[in-house]
């Protein structure tokens, strides 16, 4: 290779006024080797002088980087937090309204039961009097809320996977979203020690302990993880500690690099096997 090879700089064929095209040339272009691009740009008449070249380069590189970052923002941790909270709200409202409606409906219909199936049936009915009108209308809203919960759950699953691939591999999408929400964000979680992650969601118990008297909590929201819940109580503290240690590592990998590292999951499984093997010995 030599300097005479017919290579093109990012500015090749660009209209200096077209910022968008320049940004995409920066983002998508390539070359075999570098060259004195400022000089080449002057030769090609792209800009009048070096200083103008650098001004244009600055605008284009910042534009390209900003576009790429904005695209990833769609899969932002804050969006994940909003969506898991919305999912929780939808589920809570579904339950509350289901209870309210079945209690009301039970005053007229002995077959009323507190579950979504009964609500679905009710929603299909034709209202024949003013009270039934209210009940059926409420039931329809509950069914819609329930459908929204399903859609939100799908959204949380996809979003968690792209925001935090390592955490999601370890903890599943819902628990990942809850942990990030409790921490206040992926960055915040990446900066927390494992011991704090272990008791996220058990703040009341933790502060009761710190005030004195109460036992220290062994786990917070990570209790919902199979590795903790499925481990016998005498080893649950160890399991919670092992899990939170790997979750802390996964959060850092997700925040600082964003690349999936399968070895974290493998190490956790290895550790869990050893903890659980204690029972049989």
Partner 1 sequence: MTLPDGVEYRTFDGEESLATRGEPVYGEQTDGEWRKWDRSRSKLAVLLGRDVETGLAPDATVLYLGAASGTTVSHVADVAGPTYAVEFAPRPMRDLLSVAESRQRLFPLLKDARKPSSYAHVVEPVDFLFQDVAIRGQGKVTLANKQFLKSDGRLAVAIKARSEDVTRDPDSVFDDVLSTIKTEYEIVHTSSLEPFHEDHLGVVASPK
Stretch of residues binding partner 1 (CB under 8 A), selected from 4-12, 122-130, 151-159, 268-276: 4-12
The dihedral over CA atoms of 43, 47, 49, 52, expressed in degrees to the nearest 10, equals -150
31 binds partner 1 per the rule CB under 8 A: yes
229 binding partner 1? (CB under 8 A): no
- Exactly one of 5, 15, 20, 62 binds partner 1 (CB under 8 A); which one? 62
- The CB-of-39 to partner 1 minimum distance in angstroms stands at 8
Q: Which window, 25-33, 154-162, 165-173, 231-239, contacts partner 1 (CB under 8 A)?
A: 25-33
**Do 171 and 225 touch, CB atoms closer than 8 A?**
yes
Nearer to partner 1, 30 or 280 (CB): 30
Q: How far is CA 158 from the centre of its chain?
A: 8
What is the 3 state secondary structure string of 152-212?
A: HHHHHHHHHHHHCHHHHHHHHHHHHHHHHHHHCCHHHHHCCCHHHHHCCCCHHHHHHHHHC
- The reply to whether 245 sits near partner 1 by the rule CB under 8 A is no
Closest CA to 222 of 184, 181, 176: 176
Task: Return d(Cα 144, Cα 138) in angstroms, integer.
Answer: 10
Could you say which of 57, 170, 177, 251 contacts partner 1 (CB under 8 A)?
57
Give the residue, chosen from 34, 45, 130, 233, that forms a contact with partner 1 under the rule CB under 8 A: 34
Q: Is 7 near partner 1 (CB under 8 A)?
A: yes
CA distance 281 to 138: 56
Q: Which residues bind partner 1 (CB under 8 A)?
A: 7-10, 25-27, 29-38, 54-55, 57-58, 61-62, 64-66, 68-69, 72, 187, 255-258
């Amino acid at each position: 290779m030599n300097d005479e090879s017919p290579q093109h700089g990012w500015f090749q064929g660009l209209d200096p006024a077209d910022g968008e095209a320049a940004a995409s040339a920066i983002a998508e272009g390539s070359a075999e080797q570098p060259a004195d691009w400022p000089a080449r740009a002057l030769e090609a008449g792209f800009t009048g002088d070096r200083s103008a070249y650098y001004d244009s380069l600055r605008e284009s590189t910042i534009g390209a980087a900003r576009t790429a970052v904005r695209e990833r923002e769609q899969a932002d941790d804050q969006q994940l937090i909003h969506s898991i909270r919305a999912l929780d709200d939808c589920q809570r409202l579904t339950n509350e309204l289901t209870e309210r409606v079945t209690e009301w409906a039970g005053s007229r219909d002995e077959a009323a039961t507190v579950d979504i199936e009964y609500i679905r049936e009710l929603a299909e009915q034709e209202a024949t009097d003013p009270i039934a009108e209210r009940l059926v209308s409420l039931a329809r809203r509950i069914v819609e809320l329930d459908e929204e919960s399903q859609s939100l759950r799908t959204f949380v699953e996809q979003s968690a996977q792209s925001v935090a691939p390592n955490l999601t591999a370890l903890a599943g999408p819902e628990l990942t979203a809850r942990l990030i929400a409790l921490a206040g964000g992926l960055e915040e979680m990446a900066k927390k020690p494992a011991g704090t992650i272990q008791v996220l969601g058990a703040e009341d118990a933790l502060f009761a302990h710190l005030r004195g008297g109460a036992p220290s909590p062994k786990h917070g929201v990570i209790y919902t993880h199979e590795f903790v819940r499925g481990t016998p109580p005498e080893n649950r503290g160890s399991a919670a500690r092992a899990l939170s240690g790997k979750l802390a590592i996964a959060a850092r990998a997700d925040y600082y690099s964003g690349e999936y590292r399968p070895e974290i999951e493998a190490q956790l499984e290895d550790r869990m096997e050893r903890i659980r093997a204690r029972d049989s010995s």
